């Protein structure tokens, strides 16, 4: 069995007394390529916050790279984790050079400030930008980039430190067809690479699952007890029930018409062809 990179044991997260996610269990090993899939508002971003050491569970245990979250220096963990997300992209100073946005991935900070990096480290950052066809962005400003350019810069940054865990949260959100397909090529290359790195891609669209990813964790709503349920399927406080993981396993066994129809509460037909997935209401 490969080394365990991520393990969530009976995890729950509460905010303002509301349970956001509950009974979340997940184990990811080195070298595996996972998709975290589910509808909007189900708690995916909350789960990602824990995987990226930005959020701590209210109950349960989270183990990342052999260390329990909350009992180890998260700043040491973050240098071993590559994160690409829109939320992270918004944390950079507006005038930040994309080259610096990439190289600072080594120290897991946003903004170069007083940090110093070697010529070799800058050379690697430039090569990563070229690898993702955005080398021309050096010297520009992060706030002036298109969504597609910013996404590729953030993925380059996430890979800067050759992380043991790579997390990409909704990397194609807001992109047009051309921009999405450019990023999909990048993601497919990451999915197919011969690497012991564990990769987690978060999405709510089947069309945005790249080639090379073969494991999936599907999030859905936790069933509400009969005494707490209302006719609208919310709890007695008027909140939707908490999110949880309802399936883990292979994409082929997880992405079925029946499972997605139940998840989205409408008849869904799933297609898989030419290495890509799609789903339609029927």
Q: What is the pLDDT of residues 176-204, one digit of tens each?
A: 888 888 888 888 988 998 889 999 999 99
Burial class (CB in 10 A: 0-12, 13-18, 19+), 238: exposed
Write down the architecture of domain 4-256 according to CATH: 3-Layer(aba) Sandwich (3.40)
Between vectors from CA 67 to CA 61 and to CA 73, what angle results, nearest 5°? Answer: 105
Residue 10, pLDDT above cutoff 90: yes
Round to whole Å and give the CA distance between 23 and 26.
10
| Contact criterion met (CB below 8 Å) for 215 and 250 | yes
Calculate the average pLDDT of the chain: 90
pLDDT at residue 106, as a whole number: 92
Query: Of 242, 223, 275, 262, nearest to 13 (Cα)?
Result: 242
Residue 32, pLDDT above cutoff 90: yes
pLDDT at residue 237, as a whole number: 54
| Contact criterion met (CB below 8 Å) for 174 and 55 | no
**Full-prediction pTM beyond 0.75?**
yes
| Contact criterion met (CB below 8 Å) for 24 and 11 | yes
pLDDT in tens, 134-158: 999 999 999 999 888 898 899 999 9
Residue 230, pLDDT above cutoff 80: no
Round to whole Å and give the CA distance between 187 and 167.
11
pLDDT at residue 221, as a whole number: 93
The alpha carbon torsion through 34, 39, 42, 44 (nearest 10 deg) reads: 30
pLDDT in tens, 231-258: 455 555 556 789 999 999 999 999 999 9
């Amino acid at each position: 069995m490969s080394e365990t990179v991520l393990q969530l044991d009976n995890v729950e997260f509460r905010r303002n007394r509301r349970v956001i996610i509950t009974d979340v269990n997940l184990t990811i090993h080195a070298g595996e390529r996972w998709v975290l899939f589910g509808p909007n508002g189900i708690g995916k971003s909350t789960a990602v916050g824990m995987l990226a050491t930005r959020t701590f569970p209210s109950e349960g245990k989270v183990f990342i790279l052999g260390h329990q979250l909350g009992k180890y220096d998260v700043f040491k963990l973050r240098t071993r984790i590559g994160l690409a997300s829109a939320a992270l992209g918004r944390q950079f100073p507006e005038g930040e050079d994309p080259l610096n946005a990439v190289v600072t991935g080594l120290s897991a900070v946003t903004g170069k400030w007083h940090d110093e990096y070697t010529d070799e480290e800058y050379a690697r950052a430039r090569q990563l930008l070229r690898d993702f066809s955005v080398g021309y962005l050096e010297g520009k400003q992060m706030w002036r980039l298109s969504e597609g350019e910013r996404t590729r810069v953030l993925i380059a940054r996430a890979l800067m430190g050759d992380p043991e865990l790579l997390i990409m949260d909704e990397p194609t959100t807001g992109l047009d067809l051309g921009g999405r397909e450019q990023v999909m090529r990048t993601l497919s290359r990451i999915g197919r690479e011969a690497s012991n790195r564990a990769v987690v891609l978060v999405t709510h669209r089947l069309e945005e699952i790249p080639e090379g990813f073969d494991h999936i964790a599907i999030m859905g709503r936790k069933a509400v007890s009969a005494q707490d349920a209302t006719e609208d399927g919310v709890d007695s406080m008027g909140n939707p029930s908490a999110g949880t993981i309802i399936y883990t396993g292979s994409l082929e066994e997880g992405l079925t018409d029946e499972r997605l129809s139940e998840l989205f509460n409408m008849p869904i037909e799933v297609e898989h062809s030419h290495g890509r997935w799609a789903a339609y209401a029927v």
